[in-house]
Amino acid sequence: MAPAGRAAPPPEAVLRAFAPAPGQRGLQEPPGGRPGRRRTATGPWWKSDARSDPWRDPHAPAGLIGPAVFEEPEEQTGPVVVDAKGRRRLRLADVSIRLAVLGLLAVLLTGLVGGAAGYWLTRTADESPLLAPGTQLSETDEGIAREPGSVSDIASRVTPAVVSVEVRIGEAGATGSGVVIDGENGYIVTNNHVISGADGVEGAEIRAVFSDGSGSAARIVGRDPASDLAVLKVEKPGLLAAALGRSDGVVVGDPVVAIGSPLGLASTVTSGIVSALDRPVRLAGEGSDTNAVISAVQTDAPINPGNSGGALVNGAGEVIGINTAIASLGGGSVGLGFAIPVDTVRDIAEQLIATGRAVHASLGVNARSVTDGTRDGALVVNVEPGSAAAEAGIREQDVVIAVDGDPVGSSEELVVAVDSHDPGETISVELVRGGSSTTVEATLDEA
Contact 290, 308 (CB under 8 A): no
Would you list the DSSP string of 371-428?
E-SS-EEEEEEEE-TTSHHHHHT--TT-EEEEETTEE--SHHHHHHHHHTS-TT-EEE
* Cα–Cα dist 289/229, whole Å: 12
Alpha-carbon distance of 183 to 241, in angstroms, equals 5
Q: CA 404, CA 416: separation in Å to the nearest integer? A: 13
Domain extents for the chain? Answer: 151-234, 247-347, 361-446
**pLDDT confidence bin for 268, thresholds 50/70/90:** very high
**What pLDDT is stored for residue 24 in this prediction?**
60
Tens-place pLDDT, residues 348-374: 999 999 999 999 999 999 999 999 888
What pLDDT digit, counting tens, does each position of 291-343 carry?
A: 999 999 999 999 999 999 999 999 999 999 999 998 877 666 667 899 999 99
Which one from 247, 295, 308, 410 is the annotated catalytic residue?
308
| Average pLDDT of the residues in 13-27 | 61
- Residue 278 CA to residue 295 CA, distance in Å, equals 5
| 234 residue type, one letter | V
Q: Does residue 62 have a pLDDT over 90?
A: no
**pLDDT score at 26:** 55
Please answer whether residues 322 and 273 qualify as being in contact, where contact means their C-beta atoms are separated by less than 8 angstroms: no
247-347 and 361-446 have identical folds: no
User: Catalytic: which of 164, 177, 227, 228?
Assistant: 228
Q: What is the mean pLDDT of the chain?
A: 85
Report the alpha-carbon distance of residue 170 to residue 331 in Å, rounded. 27
Mean pLDDT computed over 263-276:
94
What is the pLDDT, as a whole number, of residue 193? Answer: 94
Within 10 angstroms of residue 307's Cβ, the number of other Cβ atoms is 30
pLDDT of 72 higher than 70: no
Of residues 422 and 35, which shows the higher confidence score?
422
Q: Please report, in angstroms and rounded to a whole number, the separation of the first and last CA atoms in the chain.
A: 152
* Average pLDDT score over residue span 157-173: 94
State mean pLDDT over 148-176.
93
- Give ∠ CA 175-181-185 in degrees, rounded to 5: 100
Instruction: Return the pLDDT at 392.
Output: 96
What is the pLDDT at residue 321?
97
Give 328-360 as a DSSP string.
-SSSSSSSEEEEEEHHHHHHHHHHHHHHS----
Provide the CATH number for the domain formed by 361-446 in this structure.
Answer: 2.30.42.10
CA nearest 260: which of 307, 194, 318, 299?
A: 307
Multiple choice CATH, 151-234, 1.10.357.10, 2.40.10.10, 3.30.1490.20, 1.10.620.20: 2.40.10.10
Give residue 119's pLDDT: 78
Q: Exposed e or buried b for every residue in 340-356, given b needs 16+ CB within 10 A?
A: bbbbbbbebbebbbeee
Q: Which of 325, 303, 342, 298 is nearest to 193 (CA)?
A: 325
- Phi, psi dihedral angles at 80 (to 5 degrees): -100, 120
- Of all residues in the chain, the percent with pLDDT exceeding 90 is 59
User: Could you confirm whether 308 is annotated as catalytic?
Assistant: yes
Q: What percent of the chain has pLDDT over 70?
A: 77
Give the Cα separation of 398 and 421 in Å (integer). Answer: 22
Type of residue at 445: D
Q: What's the confidence (pLDDT) of residue 446?
A: 93
Would you state the pLDDT for residue 116?
A: 86
How buried is 305 (Cβ within 10 angstroms: 0-12 exposed, 13-18 middle, 19+ buried)?
A: middle
pLDDT, residue 425, reads: 96
Task: Name the CATH superfamily, with its identifier, for domain 247-347.
Answer: Trypsin-like serine proteases (2.40.10.10)
For 412-432, what is each residue's pLDDT tens digit?
Answer: 999 999 999 999 999 999 999
Marked catalytic residue, from 164, 177, 193, 295: 193
* pLDDT the model gives residue 382: 96
pLDDT on residue 122 = 72
Whether 261 sits among the annotated catalytic residues: the reply is no
Do residues 392 and 398 make contact, with C-beta atoms less than 8 angstroms apart?
no
Specify the pLDDT at position 130.
87
* Higher local confidence (pLDDT), 231 or 329: 231
Does the annotation count 436 as an active-site position?
Answer: no
**CB neighbours (10 Å) of residue 215?**
15
pLDDT at 286 over 80: no
Q: Give Cα 261 to chain centroid, integer Å.
A: 25
The pLDDT of residue 42: 53
For residue 175, the model assigns a pLDDT of 93
